[in-house]
Amino acid sequence: MLNPLMSRTPQSRKAESHDRIVEAAARAIRLRGYAGVGVAEVMKEAGLTHGGFYAHFDSRDALLVAALERAGRESVENLGKAAERHALKGHSAFRSLVESYLADDLLKSLDAGCPVAALGCDMPRQSAPVREASALRVQRLIAGIRNTLPAASQAGASVIAATLVGTLQLARALGDNDEGRSLLATTRKALLLQHDR
């Protein structure tokens, strides 16, 4: 019987290693911010040597862009799964988005949730390629919110995005406690009263 590790091609091993690096960096970027993504630490977490980094990326900024894209994609997938669960309960797409984005469990899970909320304050301080990728994440968040609203309310998507991001940031600053959870609950209620008709 062939050893499955021996049957993989060098290209498939490189792709798997690349994916592990991006996955580790996506966790790190949400947990510790842009500044907390060190090449050596990410490579170690991915189970690879620091020296192999440049076989995958031209620069740390290229890693940050890939990590941000991965974190954004994971966030959208998680919101989609939550939307499916809420749809089974008869909830609107907007309600699903609000309740998932401002979920209490995100207070203690800094490595989960939307990368815009995790990184928003640091986005303008990055290099041009990272700022561009960050701006794209913000634009996609607003577009995703717009898609959950009726046509007459879609102009307010950017205000809702700002409210969601700001609320999650402030609630995390307050902590995983009654005060943080109260802020999330109050904002969920206010947004749903205004826009979930």
pLDDT for res 105: 93
114: nearest Cα among 88, 134, 86, 87: 134
The average confidence (pLDDT) of the chain is 90
Q: Is domain 9-195 classified as CATH 1.10.357.10?
A: yes
Q: DSSP letter at 34?
A: G
pLDDT for res 7: 57
What percent of the chain is predicted at pLDDT more than 90?
Answer: 68
pLDDT for res 3: 53
pLDDT grade, residue 19 (50/70/90)? very high
Q: Residue 4 above 60 pLDDT?
A: no
Task: Please indicate whether residue 101 or residue 8 has the higher confidence score (pLDDT).
Answer: 101
Task: Please indicate whether residue 110 or residue 175 has the higher confidence score (pLDDT).
Answer: 175
Q: Residue 128 above 70 pLDDT?
A: yes
pLDDT for res 151: 83
**Domain chopping of the chain, boundaries:** 9-195
pLDDT digits (tens, 9 = 90+) for 26-36: 999 999 999 98
Report pTM.
Answer: 0.86
Q: What single string gives the DSSP state of each residue in 140-188?
A: HHHHHHHTTS-GGGGGGHHHHHHHHHHHHHHHHHH-SSHHHHHHHHHHH
Q: Residue 85 above 90 pLDDT?
A: no
Q: Residue 59 above 80 pLDDT?
A: yes
Q: How many residues does the chain have?
A: 197
Q: Residue 117 above 80 pLDDT?
A: yes
By three-state DSSP, how is residue 28 classified?
helix
The packing angle between helices 93-101 and 128-146, to 10°, is: 140
pLDDT for res 8: 63
